Homo-oligomer: A and B are copies of this chain.
Amino acid sequence: MNTATIIVPSRLDLLAQCSLFHNIAPTILTAVAQTSIQRRYARGNYIFHQSDRANAYYVLLEGNVRMTQLTPEGDQVIVHFFTPGQGVGIIAALGSFNYPLSAEAIDDCLVMVWNRALMMQLMEKYPRLAINAATMLAIRFKDMQDRFRELATERVERRIARTLLRLAKQVGEKNKEGILINMPLSRRDLAEMAGTTLYTVSRTLSQWEKKGLVKTGREQVIICSPHDLVTVAEDLPPSK
């Protein structure tokens, strides 16, 4: 597994698009990339597990990753999805604690890996890296804050709508029927993201399907009328 990594030019381009490497000179980027290791994870495998010691820093090149957290009582909560170009495990690696959650590959994934201490050195040497990491964090933090407030003040239907819209933005794929959420997504997953139960999600989706807002299938949702869904998510629903 710990094979040396050959960086082909196309891959460098890919790296340059990652938020972590914004505004990094190509020569530096090459140097940084060469200190990394590449790894593949097959669908369903874990990149790391909750409460593992956080000593690596990942950048996702291909595939999608789902972050889940298990509560002491055994409830699972889905905290985040990562799409290519994003940094995984930054938080724990920076704070140098154990991973507070697990990272699961929901597709076949390709990641670049840096040792924690090494990444620290790199950041000391190339401040831009540290600034970019902080910026990515800042954005995710704001996102989390919004979700928190949402959970505290909005009712379930609206939260589910927002969750769907957020997912659509992240992994939505337009086709003739509408926007397909392009990943296996069970009712339970949705429930855990929106902070409710799978029962309520199921009922809500059924209702929406009757109204033509969405089409649902096994582990699949297609948003047929994004506009109406936004209405549910934002405004007072237009009565009726």
Identify which of A90, A92, A133 gathers the most chain B CB atoms within 10 Å of its CB: A133
Within the complex, the shortest CB–CB distance from A198 to chain B, in Å, comes to 13
Is A185's beta carbon under 8 Å from chain B? no
Please tell me which one of the listed residues B124, B130, B142 contacts residue A123 in the complex, with CB atoms under 8 A apart. Answer: B130
* A interface SS class: helix
- Tell me the A112-144 residues at the B interface (CB within 8 Å): 120, 123-128, 130-131, 133-135, 137-142, 144
Collect the chain B residues with CB atoms within 8 Å of residue A147's CB: 148
Cβ of A69 and Cβ of B123 under 8 Å apart? no
Instruction: Say how far A39's CB is from chain B's closest CB, in angstroms.
Output: 23
Docked-complex contact A131 and B135, CB < 8 angstroms = no
Determine, out of A94-102, A199-207, A212-220, the stretch whose residues face the partner at the interface: A94-102
Closest to A151 in B: B151
Contact of A145 among B79, B90, B124, B152 (CB under 8 A): B79
A172 at interface, CB cutoff 8 A: no
- Across-interface contacts of A73 in B (CB, < 8 A): 153
Q: Which of A101, A124, A135, A138 gathers most chain B CB within 10 Å? A: A138
Q: Which residues of B contact A240 (CB under 8 A)?
A: none
What residues of B have a CB within 8 angstroms of the CB of A153 in the complex? 71, 73, 75, 77, 195
Q: Is the CB of B79 within 8 A of A142?
A: no
Q: Name A152's contact: one of B77, B92, B149 (CB within 8 Å).
A: B77
List, in ascending order, chain B residues with CB within 8 A of A79's CB.
145, 148-149
Using Cβ atoms and an 8 Å threshold, which residues of chain B touch A120?
131
Q: Which residues of B contact A131 (CB under 8 A)?
A: 94, 120, 123-124, 130
Bound together, the chains give a CA A66 to CA B124 distance in angstroms of: 33
Query: Are the C-beta atoms of A195 and B134 separated by less than 8 Å?
Result: no
A-B contact pairs, 5 of them (CB 8 A): A75-B153, A94-B135, A101-B145, A120-B131, A127-B127
Contacts A79-B145, A94-B137 known; list 13 others, CB within 8 Å.
Answer: A73-B153, A77-B149, A77-B152, A90-B138, A91-B138, A94-B131, A94-B138, A95-B135, A95-B138, A100-B142, A134-B137, A140-B141, A153-B195
